[in-house]
Amino acid sequence: MKRSVVILGLLGLVCAVSLPAANAAVLLKDDFSTDAILKSKDTFQQGFGSHARDEDPTLVPWYVYGGGLESSPMGSTGGSDGTGANNTQSDPPTVDFMLLTGDPAWADVSIQSRVYSDGQNTGSWGLILRATPKTKPTDPDTWYEFAVVTNGTTDSGDVSGDVSSPTGEGITHDQADSGIQNITVTPTLRIYKVVKNKWKVLAETDFHKSAVHIPEVNNIGYDHDTSHDGSGTPTGATFRFVAKGNVLQAWASVDGVKFNKYLEVTDDELKAGKVGFTHCEYNPVFHDLLVEDAP
């Protein structure tokens, strides 16, 4: 049966183009060959899960090594285990994993990164735009987010496990408290808006609804981190989140050249802010950060 695209918000055709635009001004670029982003005065980082508590309570939220940014120390694949809404027993309490950087005045910009998984297949991760700056974890969260949500599958679109639970993996405590439901199909792509810790789904599509394949970031299934060159080394897929005026767009690409637009929606509330990364119950590895003026 032919699959169709269903988007909450502004409906549009899935299209494929080459991105980024040749004349887009580069605002921030990092191949994570050093940990400069973690030392920057413009960067705020947080994150503490039950896995970190049990393994070593002195672990820091983010690491840079091997050309990637992630939240597991070398030799571990625990990532942000124990941070989702289904993790209710934690002493001390868990803290969502998130990194913000850049200029709080950035408005019409895009953030792009190549992403693969370090040994995990379930949970969620996202790219952030127009984030209100934070100085401590208890500061309220306010931003737009392009989220990739997965949960308990053995193959593309084959849903199993506790995916029907409203507080399953991939949903944070604040999202559950805001009434955000766990996904029913994996992978699911969402554009979120969060304002002072209150979350809303602005747009959504998933494996069954999308007319084109959604690149999966995992260690199983068709993509297997999109390592199709025979090397066995994960290359990941590239994801791009754009905000221009009141228009938000979510794009993805297997090869980093030909991008498909999966979501587009309009929202007028958030005007400018920092960019960043976040993840929950997952261990994504972010490569090749690129922030540009929106095309």
The pair of structure tokens assigned to 185 is 């199909």
Looking at residue 22, what is its pLDDT? 53
For 57, other C-beta atoms within 10 Å of its C-beta total 9
For 29, other C-beta atoms within 10 Å of its C-beta total 11
- The set of residues, in sequence order, having a beta carbon less than 8 Å from that of 167 and lying 6+ positions away, is 84, 85, 86, 176, 182
Residue 191 pairs with which residues in a beta bridge? 146, 203
CA distances from 228 to 232, 237, 257 (A): 8, 11, 15
The pair of structure tokens assigned to 148 is 């990739």
Give the span between the Cα atoms of 174 and 155, in whole angstroms.
29
Looking at residue 234, what is its pLDDT? 66
Residue ranges with strand state E in the chain: 16-18, 26-30, 44-48, 63-65, 68-70, 95-101, 109-117, 123-131, 143-150, 153-155, 158-159, 188-195, 198-206, 237-244, 247-253, 258-266, 274-280, 284-293
Q: Which is it for the CA torsion 248, 249, 250, 255, positive or negative?
A: negative
Omega before 234 cis (within 30°)?
no
- The set of residues, in sequence order, having a beta carbon less than 8 Å from that of 14 and lying 6+ positions away, is 5, 210, 211, 212, 260, 261, 262
CB 109 within 8 A of CB 271: no
One-letter amino acid identity for 81? D
- The set of residues, in sequence order, having a beta carbon less than 8 Å from that of 136 and lying 6+ positions away, is 46
- Whether CATH 1.25.40.10 fits 16-83+92-293: no
| Nearest alpha carbon to residue 174 among 100, 93, 96 | 96
- Output the tens digit of pLDDT for each of the chain's 295 residues: 223 333 333 333 455 655 555 568 999 999 999 999 999 999 999 998 887 777 787 889 999 998 999 998 888 777 788 888 776 666 778 899 999 999 999 999 999 999 988 877 788 999 999 999 999 999 999 999 999 998 744 444 444 444 445 556 688 889 989 999 888 888 999 999 999 999 999 999 999 999 998 988 876 666 665 555 555 566 788 999 999 999 999 999 988 889 999 999 999 999 999 999 999 988 899 999 999 999 8
